[in-house]
Amino acid sequence: MKGISIKDIAKQAGVSPTTVSFVLNGKAKEKRISEQVSKKILKLASKLKYKPNQLARGLRTGKTKTIGLIVEDIANHFFANVAKIVEEEADKYGYKVLYGSTEDNITKARGLLDVLEYRQVDGYIITPTPGMDKEIEALKHARKPMVLLDRYLPQIPTNYVMVNNFQGAYDAADYLVKCGYKNIALVTIPSEQIQMKERLDGFTAAMKAHQAPFPRKMTKKIPFAATKDEALSEIKSFILGNPDLEAIFFSTNYLGIYGMEAFKELGLTIGKDIAFISFDDHDLFRLYSPGITCVAQPIHDIARHVIQVLMNELDNNHNEINQVILPATLVKRESCSRVKSQKA
Amino acid sequence: MKGISIKDIAKQAGVSPTTVSFVLNGKAKEKRISEQVSKKILKLASKLKYKPNQLARGLRTGKTKTIGLIVEDIANHFFANVAKIVEEEADKYGYKVLYGSTEDNITKARGLLDVLEYRQVDGYIITPTPGMDKEIEALKHARKPMVLLDRYLPQIPTNYVMVNNFQGAYDAADYLVKCGYKNIALVTIPSEQIQMKERLDGFTAAMKAHQAPFPRKMTKKIPFAATKDEALSEIKSFILGNPDLEAIFFSTNYLGIYGMEAFKELGLTIGKDIAFISFDDHDLFRLYSPGITCVAQPIHDIARHVIQVLMNELDNNHNEINQVILPATLVKRESCSRVKSQKA
DNA sequence: TCAGAGCGCTAAATCGATTAAGCAGACTAT
DNA sequence: ATAGTCTGCTTAATCGATTTAGCGCTCTGA
């Protein structure tokens, strides 16, 4: 059950393995192999269905044509979609993808990095967890091709591709204020991670620009590590504790989903009792009645840029840094459709 | 920037590479290497942060410790979740996962298989597309470890892990009839694929068992290749063409989502105008108001069994065939909650 | 005293490709 | 005639691990 090797072809063609290798690597001209021999080899290769052993090749060349994709959670809508495009795009360049989820846990992330190193991946796409600075620094120092995804580490200049979190959150707050809502709250995670900070900053900046009050107590932070039940009850008691609440912005996809669940359990109607807006789009938001207004990320563009930047690193060694920030889109649906004139 | 190799350790320890290899592979005892030497080598290995080159190892042993995961669509909720568990479980056995989506397209599937063969994956997890029989047969003939996922090919006895489609659909129909609905329709894809056939069969069987009428015109088939817009308009015109319709069963996750969209566009209320039930659970179904009743697949169990069966193949060579069919769960929510007594 | 076993380790082949170096033979130029 | 060049290919080293066969030594028992 052995595969066909370059030696088998060589033997049958009556030439040396070297010649076969040259021909199959398209170096026939360069290495001055005759047409005759070239053709014979090519014919034999396709007749025998020769498939180069990537292990042997990789061992020799030091390239595996494999990239490592580290995401927060491959089962999450955003990352699953990114993973899909990444795989498709990588394939066009002859690369395959190994993946893994960190759950935003640095220990898991370290484990993944280790394994990917064992596997000699050629490049890394990484959604960094909190506290991952040292590891990223190490990769950078080792000059490994790498792109950060969805977030970046402000202390370390690296390639990254992400959405414009500030602008996305700004637009959301801007929209809520323009719709005439007062007493607007934000639900987020107490993370030092830059993407969360930027969402908070963008939101705050918009409120300030409108001179709309946004006291600290209107920001609710739910620990990432909270269980679903804990998160739900935190959200519910936050809502109950703020009876004047007119609108809530949830700073992530999954918090938004928890928010909907909380509303459901409290018997509140989205858009009617309290306006509702979330970061990140989702089937759920699109199809819910009322449709949930959200700040959508350009998932395809993100994935495509990630691969482009990585391939650029992989090809060239000139180390310009690519930092791509793509615009977020405010998708207006019915969950916060009140307009100023309707205000009492 | 070269990594540390076994030779480096050997040199520093003053022994041969062979000895190092024995020790690091836990064969110290078996190969009668002294405690002293063993310890020295182990200490050096961890001091130098030795990481075995998997390529070299793979080349020699013929094992890559990599498995190929071929799904229909990694961005789909079901497959994304399977992919997550598969990765976690595989990791426990020291395996990494390469993935790819077929879009249910045989050409794409062939491409994926080719690439995975190049990459010398040790085993395959495959969601077969229609017409993939020859390829699966070939893998089987080559005695490659393999498990089919989500569906199987009736003509070819292989390992597989899937949900009990017949029972799931049967329960759904049974439930609808017991709730008192008449004029029940089924929306599916016109696929010869076994999982779809079994869902249709299960549904039909339940209707028959209740002596409930289920004429052919109550089955609507939407081509898998249809665009979203096409699918939507097909579903809408089907609904409009059947004004007596009381309940619809959608045989897949994504058809259910299209169905919800169609309802929304037609201004129909799920559960009130027409009862609604879908195969496969989804955040959307859980959180929608009303909650969407569905036939849930035991995703975790499926993924875990897949890995177990594959690892079993990978370990042993005794070729018993493992065919695992896991029960589906009817998750009752409000989208078809009418009970018999309420019927006019 | 000497064959045979046990001990602790090593030499060298091997996996399948890539690639630097180089070797004959034909031809060219002086 | 002789050095130099070009042609068309081959030899052999190499990547980093695994693994078979076996080496040199000591010890034991008859």
Nearest alpha-carbon partner for A169 in A333, A280, A298: A280
Same structural domain, B286 and B190? yes
Same structural domain, B173 and B152? no
- Do B289 and A289 lie within an 8 Å CB cutoff? yes
> Is residue A169 in a domain?
yes
Q: A183 beta carbon < 7 A from strand C?
A: no
- Do A83 and B74 lie within an 8 Å CB cutoff? yes
Residue B42 tokens, joined: 């182990």
- Angle, alpha carbons A286-A207-A297 (nearest 5°): 30
> Is residue B1 in a domain?
no
Cβ–Cβ under 8 Å, residues A165 and A328:
yes
Q: Which nucleotide is nearest to B10 (CA to C1')?
A: C10
Work out the minimum CA distance from B212 to partner chain A, whole angstroms.
Answer: 32
Q: Over A67-129, what HEC string results?
A: EEEEECCCCCHHHHHHHHHHHHHHHHCCCEEEEEECCCCHHHHHHHHHHHHHCCCCEEEECCC
> Is residue B133 in a domain?
yes
Between the CA of residue A302 and those of A81, A85, B269, what are the distances in Å? 10, 9, 36
Cβ–Cβ under 8 Å, residues B172 and B329:
no
Nearest alpha-carbon partner for A73 in A43, A44, A112, A40: A112
Query: Would an 8 Å CB–CB cutoff place B268 in contact with chain A?
Result: no
> Is residue B58 in a domain?
no
The pLDDT of A35-60, averaged and rounded, is 94
- As for how many domains chain A has, the answer is 3
Residue B292 tokens, joined: 């969407």
Range name among A171-185, A233-247, A279-293 with the lowest pLDDT average: A279-293
Collapsing DSSP states into helix, strand and coil, what is residue A230? helix
Could you tell me whether strands B293-296 and B329-331 are parallel, antiparallel, or unpaired per DSSP bridges?
Answer: antiparallel
Between the CA of residue B230 and those of A208, B163, B247, B258, B275, what are the distances in Å? 46, 29, 22, 10, 23
Using CB atoms, which residue from A77, A101, A142 is nearest to B87?
A101
Confidence of residue A341 (pLDDT cuts 50, 70, 90): very low
Nearest alpha-carbon partner for B325 in B188, B64, B150: B150
Cβ–Cβ under 8 Å, residues A143 and A321:
no
Over the stretch A179-225, which tens digit does the pLDDT of each residue have? 999 999 999 998 778 899 999 999 999 999 999 999 999 999 998 88
- Do A284 and B289 lie within an 8 Å CB cutoff? no
pLDDT for residue B42: 95
Interface A-B, measured as beta-carbon pairs within 8 A, has a size of 128
Chain A residues within 8 A of B117 when measuring between CB atoms: 51
Cβ–Cβ under 8 Å, residues B136 and B128:
yes
> Is residue B24 in a domain?
yes
Give distance CA B33 / C1' C16 (Å).
31
d(CA B218, CA A273) in angstroms, rounded, equals 40
Same structural domain, B217 and B337? yes
Give distance CA A59 / C1' C9 (Å).
28
CATH of the domain at A48: 1.10.260.40
Collapsing DSSP states into helix, strand and coil, what is residue A279? strand
Same structural domain, B186 and B153? no
pLDDT for residue A342: 43
Instruction: List, in sequence order, the alpha helices (H) in A291-343.
Output: 299-315
Interface probe for B, chosen from A5, A84, A89, A266 (most Cβ of B below 10 Å), is A84
> Does residue B277 register a pLDDT over 90?
yes
% residues pLDDT > 70 (chain B): 97
Nearest alpha-carbon partner for A182 in A140, A242, A229: A242
Work out the minimum CA distance from B294 to partner chain A, whole angstroms.
Answer: 16
d(CA B334, CA B294) in angstroms, rounded, equals 10
- Do B84 and A64 lie within an 8 Å CB cutoff? no
Same structural domain, A313 and A215? no
Handedness of CA B192, B194, B195, B198 (dihedral sign): positive
pLDDT for residue B318: 64
Place of tokens 């070239």: A38
Over the stretch B204-243, which tens digit does the pLDDT of each residue have? 999 999 999 999 999 999 988 888 899 999 999 999 999 9
Contacts of B214 (CB under 8 A, 6+ apart): B184, B186, B203, B204, B207, B208
Over the stretch A8-35, which tens digit does the pLDDT of each residue have? 999 999 999 999 999 999 998 888 899 9
This prediction's pTM: 0.91
Residue A267: closest CA among chain B residues belongs to which residue?
B289
Q: Which nucleotide is nearest to A33 (CA to C1')?
A: D8
The pLDDT of A313-318, averaged and rounded, is 79
Residue B332 tokens, joined: 């009752």
d(CA B97, CA B73) in angstroms, rounded, equals 15
Same structural domain, A194 and A239? yes
Q: What phi and psi values does residue B223 have, to the nearest 5 degrees?
A: -55, 140
> Is residue B89 in a domain?
yes
In chain D, which nucleotides are within 7 Å of a protein Cβ? 7-12, 14-21
Q: Which nucleotide is nearest to B63 (CA to C1')?
A: C15
Residue B69: closest CA among chain A residues belongs to which residue?
A98
Over the stretch A128-145, which tens digit does the pLDDT of each residue have? 999 999 999 999 999 999
Which tops the pLDDT comparison, B191 or B203?
B203
Give distance CA B31 / C1' D27 (Å).
19
Same structural domain, A155 and A173? no
| Cis before B290? omega within 30 | yes
- Do A287 and B54 lie within an 8 Å CB cutoff? no
Using CB atoms, which residue from B1, B91, B99 is nearest to A142?
B1
- Do B287 and A261 lie within an 8 Å CB cutoff? yes
The pLDDT of B94-117, averaged and rounded, is 95
Over the stretch A219-242, which tens digit does the pLDDT of each residue have? 999 988 888 899 999 999 999 999
Collapsing DSSP states into helix, strand and coil, what is residue B340? helix
Q: A129 beta carbon < 7 A from strand D?
A: no
Residue B152 tokens, joined: 């199987």
Q: Which nucleotide is nearest to A18 (CA to C1')?
A: D10
Same structural domain, B141 and B185? no
Same structural domain, A27 and A112? no
Tell me the pLDDT of chain A averaged across its residues: 93
- Do A100 and B118 lie within an 8 Å CB cutoff? no
Range name among A10-19, A152-161, B315-324 with the lowest pLDDT average: B315-324
Residue A267 tokens, joined: 């018997």
Query: Would an 8 Å CB–CB cutoff place B51 in contact with chain A?
Result: yes
The pLDDT of A154-182, averaged and rounded, is 96
Is residue B47 left, alpha or beta, with left meaning phi > 0 and alpha meaning psi from -120 to 50?
alpha
Same structural domain, B155 and B103? yes
d(CA B51, CA A281) in angstroms, rounded, equals 41
> Is residue A58 in a domain?
no
CATH of the domain at B306: 3.40.50.2300
Same structural domain, B240 and B336? yes
Between the CA of residue A47 and those of A9, B140, B296, what are the distances in Å? 10, 22, 48
Place of tokens 């899937």: B162
Number of helices (H) and strands (E), helices first, in chain B? 13, 12
Residue B116: closest CA among chain A residues belongs to which residue?
A96
Instruction: List, in sequence order, the alpha helices (H) in chain B.
Output: 6-13, 17-24, 35-47, 54-61, 77-92, 106-118, 133-141, 165-178, 194-209, 228-240, 253-266, 283-287, 299-315
d(CA B214, CA B219) in angstroms, rounded, equals 8
pLDDT for residue A283: 85
> Does residue B29 register a pLDDT over 90?
no
Q: Give the H/E segment covering residue B148.
A: strand B146-149
> Is residue A59 in a domain?
no
d(CA B55, CA B64) in angstroms, rounded, equals 7
Query: Would an 8 Å CB–CB cutoff place B273 in contact with chain A?
Result: no
- Which DSSP letter does residue B25 get? T
Residue B240 tokens, joined: 């409009």
Give distance CA A66 / C1' C21 (Å).
31
Q: Which stretches of chain A are assigned E, i.e. beta strand?
A: 66-71, 96-101, 123-126, 146-149, 160-163, 184-188, 219-221, 247-250, 275-279, 293-296, 323-326, 329-331
- Which DSSP letter does residue B215 get? -
Domain that holds residue A41: 6-52
Using CB atoms, which residue from B58, B59, B74 is nearest to A87?
B74
d(CA A251, CA A203) in angstroms, rounded, equals 10
**Cα atoms in the 13 Å half-sphere on the side-chain side of A168:** 31
d(CA B121, CA B116) in angstroms, rounded, equals 6
pLDDT for residue A31: 87
Residue A277 tokens, joined: 């807006």
d(CA A271, CA A276) in angstroms, rounded, equals 6
Query: What pairs with residue B330 in β-bridges?
Result: B295
Same structural domain, B157 and B172? no
Confidence of residue A40 (pLDDT cuts 50, 70, 90): very high
- Do B84 and A96 lie within an 8 Å CB cutoff? no
